Structure 1
Amino acid sequence: MPDEDLMLAYAQGDAAAFDVLYARHEAALYRFVRRLLGTGLSAQADEVFQEAWLRIVTARHAFRAEGASWRAWAYTIAHNLAMDRLRVSGRELSVDVAEDGEDALDWLAAHVEQVAPSTEDQAFWRAAGAQLLHCLDALPAAQRAAFLLHHEDGATVEDLAQRLALPFETAKSRLRYALQKLRGCMGAYLAPLGAAR
């Protein structure tokens, strides 16, 4: 059953439909929130994640299937809560090594089309995953949000502009700047991999 139909069923009182939605999106939405907050606010990821689901539950009657997809709707709620938390914190972005090398490894491998690194490449990819999280953390929050919405949620530039309430060119610029900074940050690290191919 599509997410949108599940949400409509939940809005009509079908609690089991919500259970399916939650099970389907729990891990990905949590990763999204955690990456948006960065390692400096990772301790608050659980709270923001729970608040996102609470907002989804309380707004269940406001969801319209003819609008954005359920996933886009839910991720927009999570994005807005995370951005609010970043604004309130007023923190400068800190750069720490990721605590969960496995998660970083999986994410990096999926985005460089490396399905399963060989045993001898595990250390390299774990370190590369940590480096990528370091690079993501170093991005300004607005650029990190654009990058994560685009790459985690598959949002197009048009979707980014709509979901972030930005002019199209601003959304496009944020994504372009984020990609440039990530390429620069990761370029030196991944250069030996390119030379080996």
Structure 2
Amino acid sequence: MSIADQERDDVLLGRAQKGDEEAFTLLYRRHQAALYRFALRMTGNTWAAEEIVQDVFMMLMRDPRKYDAARGTLGGFLYGVTRNRVLKHLERLPREVPLEEQHENGTRLGMVLKDASSPAILAEKRERVERVWAAVLDLPAEFREAVVLCELEERSYEEAAQMIGCPIGTIRSRLHRGRALLMARLEMLRGALRRANAAGLNGFENKKEVRNDVRRI
């Protein structure tokens, strides 16, 4: 790791304020991926996630003084701005579930699951993950956010509460409700598939299986 990579965010931001493009580029590379993952998992739309993250960094470049080091880390500040942009996006636009959206690494959702299983098993796994993805995107924003942070991002309750700015009990409640809604939604989908196909699919047998499928998104 270079000396530049070890510099604190506030030091880099101070350099960026003075016109140091390299410092700003390092800040961007340091935080962009995590912000993009969060925006993508909340919106389900690569274009929207890219626009939101670009807007956040444009804001930082235009007016870095909006960040107050006394109030927390730069990463926490950027997450808060990203979160606000995401919620405004969800309020503005009708919700769509793009099952063919790309992941942050550029691969299609259905191309992520790769193993030595037969084509039929791979197709079933792909379809299961797509159903979970659709069900997550169908959650109300506050429950979706708890699921994204605690299940997909694997944040602790304390970290998620600090990022959102709410009590830990609220995070626990939202996550519990989000999981319950997710299970209910997947059960409904499984019932519909069984009615449509007499042979049926194995579906989701338990909560642990659902959680594993959520984390594949």
TM-score between the two structures when normalised by the length of structure 2: 0.64
User: Please, what is the CA RMSD of the aligned residues?
Assistant: 3.4
Higher Cα radius of gyration: 2
Please give the per-residue CA displacement for 1:161-184, whole angstroms capped at 9, x wherever unaligned.
444343443332112222333355
Residue 75 in structure 1 maps to residue 76 in structure 2? no
Q: Using the alignment, how far apart are the partners of 2:14 and 2:156 within structure 1?
A: 25
Distance change in 2, residues 1:163/1:28 (3 Å): closer
Letter paired with 1:54: M
Structure with more relative contact order (C-alpha pairs < 8 Å, separation 6 or more)? 1
Offset at 1:65?
4.3
Letter in 2 for 1:160: A
1:112 matched residue in structure 2: none
1:14 aligns with 2:20: yes
| Aligned mates of 2:42, 2:109 — CA distance in 1 | 14
Distance 1:49 1:100 in 2: 16
> Does 1:191 pair with 2:208?
no
Distance 1:97 1:122 in 2: 16
SS at structure 2 position matched to 1:76: helix
Q: How does 1:24-173 map to 2 (within 5 A)?
A: 24-39=30-45, 43-65=47-69, 67-89=71-93, 91=94, 93-100=95-102, 102=107, 104=109, 117-120=114-117, 122-151=122-151, 153-173=153-173
> Kindly, what percent of the aligned residue pairs are identical?
24
1:136, 1:182 within 8 Å by CA — same for their partners in 2?
Answer: yes
Give the AA of the match of 1:6.
Answer: L
Whether the 8 Å CA contact 1:132–1:186 is kept in 2: the answer is yes
Question: Residue type of the partner of 2:174?
Answer: R
Q: Size of the alignment, in residue pairs?
A: 182
Structure 1, unmatched stretches of 5+, are 110-116
Q: Distance in 2 between matches of 1:83 and 1:72?
A: 16
Gaps of 5+ in 2: 1-5, 191-202, 210-217
Query: Is residue 79–residue 163 contact of structure 2 (8 Å, CA) maintained in 1?
Result: no
Q: Which TM-score applies when normalising by structure 1?
A: 0.69
**Residue type at the aligned position of 2:100:** A
